[in-house]
């Protein structure tokens, strides 16, 4: 049993590395309106198509010592770091939720949030395609629960979160961010509103509330710190998607503990 568990951890890590490689493609191509299918991946500098070794996640970067084997240009360390982070994220999700539908449900959310965060940091946009894909995927995850009304399905194939809670989280997240968008008159982007609605769908009513509180808190702390060190001025805007994404990550793994801790303080 221990061998099987270790084997599954390795499998999730390797699969996560592969998804991390694909995530790098999304982050580069979506903002530049390039197809994610064609053309084949190539060196950003010399445009030479990457070979089999170069396409192996993480290993290819280490094998080539971080340089293109054709022109010798240094490759950004962001690529292997994103692959490694995604691999570790997959392992963490499996370790926490086990081999259940919940694992894949939350991995879809966290994978898309990582992509959105990197794009928002560089381009200050939240792609509609990512939000739409996340919402469609999230709805599809509820098909087993619907089938469970007529069929007896194993517990691991049913999500822990009821669909009505997902819908309530979607409405709460979107509505509050819409109100902030209207009040701030452009201080908050429409992309953040759509992203928060997506997060609410995956994390439910309480999750949406916690993520918004944590997101604003994290954004404020970072913003004040950067202003204090002269990196930003009061007129500079921070991309908000990374803070919502980090708050969602915290909620996925530790949200229940945080909410219980807070409720105990009120008693």
Q: What is the pLDDT of residues 221-256, one digit of tens each?
A: 998 898 888 877 777 778 899 999 999 999 999 988
Cβ atoms within 10 Å, residue 244: 29
CB 68 within 8 A of CB 61: no
Tell me the whole-structure pTM to 2 decimals.
0.92
Mean pLDDT of the chain: 89
- Residues 6 or more apart whose CB falls under 8 angstroms from that of 240 comprise 120, 188, 189, 192, 215, 219
Closest to 203 (Cα-Cα) out of 250, 242, 239: 250
Q: Which of 108, 124, 137, 104 is nearest to 23 (CA)?
A: 108
CB-count exposure of residue 59 (10 Å: 0-12, 13-18, 19+): middle
- Helix and strand counts by DSSP (H, E) for the chain: 10, 0
Range of 30-39, 124-133, 256-265 with top mean pLDDT: 124-133
Contact assessment for residue 12 and residue 90, using Cβ atoms and an 8 Å cutoff: yes
Q: How many CB atoms lie within 10 A of CB 142?
A: 18
Tokens representing 9? 């951890």
Share of the chain above pLDDT 90, in %: 58
């Amino acid at each position: 049993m221990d061998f099987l568990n270790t084997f599954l951890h390795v499998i999730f890590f390797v699969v996560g590395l592969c998804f991390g490689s694909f995530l790098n493609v999304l982050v580069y191509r979506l903002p530049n309106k390039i197809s994610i299918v064609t053309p084949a991946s190539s060196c950003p500098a010399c445009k030479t198509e990457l070979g089999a070794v170069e396409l192996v996640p993480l290993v290819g970067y280490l094998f080539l010592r971080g340089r293109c084997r054709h022109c010798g240009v240094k490759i950004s360390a962001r690529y292997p770091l994103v692959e490694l982070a995604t691999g570790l994220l997959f392992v963490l999700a499996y370790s926490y939720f086990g081999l259940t539908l919940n694992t894949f449900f939350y991995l879809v959310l966290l994978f898309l949030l990582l992509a959105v965060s990197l794009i928002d940091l560089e381009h200050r946009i939240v792609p509609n395609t990512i939000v739409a894909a996340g919402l469609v995927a999230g709805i599809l995850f509820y098909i087993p629960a619907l089938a469970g009304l007529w069929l007896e399905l194993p517990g691991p194939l049913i999500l822990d979160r009821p669909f009505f809670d997902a819908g309530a989280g979607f409405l709460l997240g979107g509505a509050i961010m819409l109100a902030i968008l209207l009040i701030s008159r452009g201080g908050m982007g429409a992309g953040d509103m759509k992203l928060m609605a997506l997060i609410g769908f995956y994390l439910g009513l309480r999750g949406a509330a916690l993520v918004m509180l944590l997101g604003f808190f994290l954004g404020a702390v970072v913003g004040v710190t950067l202003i204090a060190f002269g990196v930003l001025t009061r007129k500079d805007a921070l991309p908000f998607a990374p803070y919502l994404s980090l708050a969602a990550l915290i909620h996925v793994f530790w949200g229940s503990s945080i909410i219980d801790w807070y409720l105990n303080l009120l008693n």
